[in-house]
Amino acid sequence: MIRHAALTDEGKRRDHNEDAYLASAEDGLFLVADGVGGRACGEVASALTVETFQAAAPRFLLALDAFQREPGRKTRSAVLELLSRICNEASRRVYEEAEADGRRGMTTTLVAALVRGGAIFLAHVGDSRAYLLREGELLQLTDDHSMVNELVRTGQMTYDEARRSRYRNVITRAIGLQPTVQPDVAAVEVLPGDRLVLCSDGLSDPVPPLEICRLLAGGTPALAAQGLVDEALERGGPDNVTVLVVDPDASPQAEAAAARAEVMSQLFLFADLPFHARARVGRLVDELFVTPGDIVVDQGERGRAMFVVVQGEVEVLRDGIVLARMGPGDHFGELALVDAQPRSATVRATQYGSLIQIDRKALDDFSRREPELGNRLLWKLMGSISARLRDASTRIADLENVQ
């Protein structure tokens, strides 16, 4: 059973609690919803959202079981798509309830996590947050859908100005604001020692990340949750505060998962992305396990995927002649993300190992779903290809000069 703890408090400046949460270790389902509306009954919106997710638990379990039996991009995407659909079911339900009862403006934020099979699947709407404590570092898994965060991202406001702004609680996406909603969804492989936290802004607003990190670092989930809520109250308790602390089971392939995380952080496509963005682009990748002699790509075949070596070694051959060897972190085939021309060489595994595969269709689908982040990846791809062309031009010029 997953170790976890949940705690909520109305705070020192509110006369009632509009937060709601769900913590079901049996289902692997954890959720925090921060109701918005005041007299428009934000607590109704958060409660309806919790009910909607709880009713969907059997569907989540089926999708999670499929992922656990055969982990990969297809089953991972199926879980994320289901999370997105349930978010929309909740949004429609809250919107229709508000319209029927004259409570327009009744909405809620949402951060939900499915924890199973060594993975965390997230759905997020609004400014409630998910954090991951990993090796003493606090990683933010969600990106606030708020007015001030948009201004910070576009360089119109600093982080310190955002924390002081009177508009810091104005959210740009919410469950129930419209009948449909676009949640951010993401997947993270769990490494040994990882600790997950879901919280309302009653924690993240008054308590800085360094203090959250310190309070999470020791003790049981129950002690950590109590310490976080106490700290929020000590700092004025300006809002309802809800905290869920979860110690998920690590991936059964922990070594490979750690290697994939390291490669993802360094690959040119993802290198300067914040952790929450790398978690979202994780739906692009598939894992390929190889044994010595396996052909990854074959000369002359048309390919639509690029590859990154995670573990082991591969060799590059043209017309049967070995041209190069590649190890962890090396990548090849990125031109296939732009066109489907025949491969110019064969790549063959020389050791037991694994690779990351990024398919062109997956990249296209992701770019349509998340155009801002997708465009950023496409520009990085164009930059890499441009650099290769410049390098080739320089080599040709050097050869001509020698002659």
| pLDDT tens digits, one per residue of 190-217 | 999 999 999 999 999 999 999 999 999 9
Is it true that 3-251 and 256-402 share their CATH fold? no
- Residue 114 pLDDT grade (very low, low, confident, very high; cuts 50, 70, 90): very high
H helices of 201-350, where?
A: 201-204, 209-216, 221-234, 254-266, 275-281
241: which DSSP letter? E
Cβ neighbors of 25 (< 8 A, separation 6 or more) are: 1, 2, 3, 4
Site of tokens 């595969």: 357
Q: How far apart are CA 199 and CA 141, in angstroms?
A: 12
C-beta of residue 237 within 8 angstroms of C-beta of residue 12: yes
HSE on the CB side for 400, CA within 13 Å?
6
Confidence of residue 403 (pLDDT cuts 50, 70, 90): low
* Per-residue model confidence (pLDDT) at position 167: 62
Residue 181 has pLDDT above 90, yes or no: yes
3-251: CATH topology is Phosphatase 2c; domain 1 (3.60.40)
Checking if the pLDDT of 161 tops 80, the result is: no
pLDDT band for position 386 (50/70/90)?
Answer: confident
DSSP one-letter string for 115-162: EETTEEEEEEESS-EEEEEETTEEEE-----BHHHHHHHTTSS-HHHH
Average pLDDT, the chain: 90
Alpha carbons 130 and 123: distance in angstroms, whole number: 10
- Listed in sequence order, the DSSP H helices in 172-274 are 201-204, 209-216, 221-234, 254-266
Sheet holding 285-290, edge to edge: 285-290, 353-359, 305-311, 331-332
Residue with tokens 């000369």: 299
Pairwise CA distance, residues 271 & 294, whole Å: 29
Cβ(175)–Cβ(125) below 8 Å:
yes
Alpha helices by DSSP H, listed for 267-370, are 275-281, 360-369
Range list of β-strands (E), 10-69: 19-24, 29-36
pLDDT of 256 reads 87
More confident residue, 391 or 298: 298
Six-digit token string for 314 = 């591969």
Among 231, 172, 176, 244, CA closest to 205: 231
Q: What is the mean pLDDT of residues 344-355?
A: 94
Kind plus residue range of the DSSP H or E element containing 9: strand 3-9
Where in the chain are the domains? Answer: 3-251, 256-402
Task: Check residue 165 and give its pLDDT.
Answer: 63
285: CB partners within 8 A, 6+ apart: 73, 260, 264, 356, 357, 358
Q: What is the pLDDT of residue 107?
A: 94
Look at 128 and 99; give whichever has higher pLDDT.
Answer: 128
Bridge partners (DSSP) listed for residue 31: 22, 112
Whether pLDDT at 312 is above 70: yes
- Note the pLDDT of residue 283: 84
Q: Which residue has the tokens 């590059």?
A: 316
- Above 80 in pLDDT, residue 347? yes
> Does the pLDDT value for residue 170 go beyond 80?
no
> What is the CATH code of the structural domain delimited by 256-402?
2.60.120.10
What are the pLDDT digits (tens) for 237-276? 999 999 999 999 998 888 888 999 999 999 999 988 999 9
* Mean predicted confidence (pLDDT) in 28-37: 93
Residue 302 — left, alpha, or beta (φ > 0 → left; ψ -120 to 50 → alpha)?
beta
pLDDT at residue 156 tops 70: no
Per-residue model confidence as pLDDT tens digits over 35-86: 987 656 889 999 999 999 999 999 999 999 999 999 989 999 999 999 999 9
How many other β-carbons are positioned within 10 Å of the β-carbon of residue 177? 22
3-state secondary structure of 382: helix
Task: Give residue 141's region: left, alpha or beta (phi > 0; psi -120 to 50).
Answer: alpha
Q: H or E stretch including 170?
A: none
Q: What is the pLDDT of residues 213-235, one digit of tens each?
A: 999 998 999 999 999 999 999 99
Backbone Cα Rg of the chain: 23
Structure confidence at residue 7 as a pLDDT band (50, 70, 90): very high
Q: What are the residues facing 289 on neighbouring strands?
A: 354
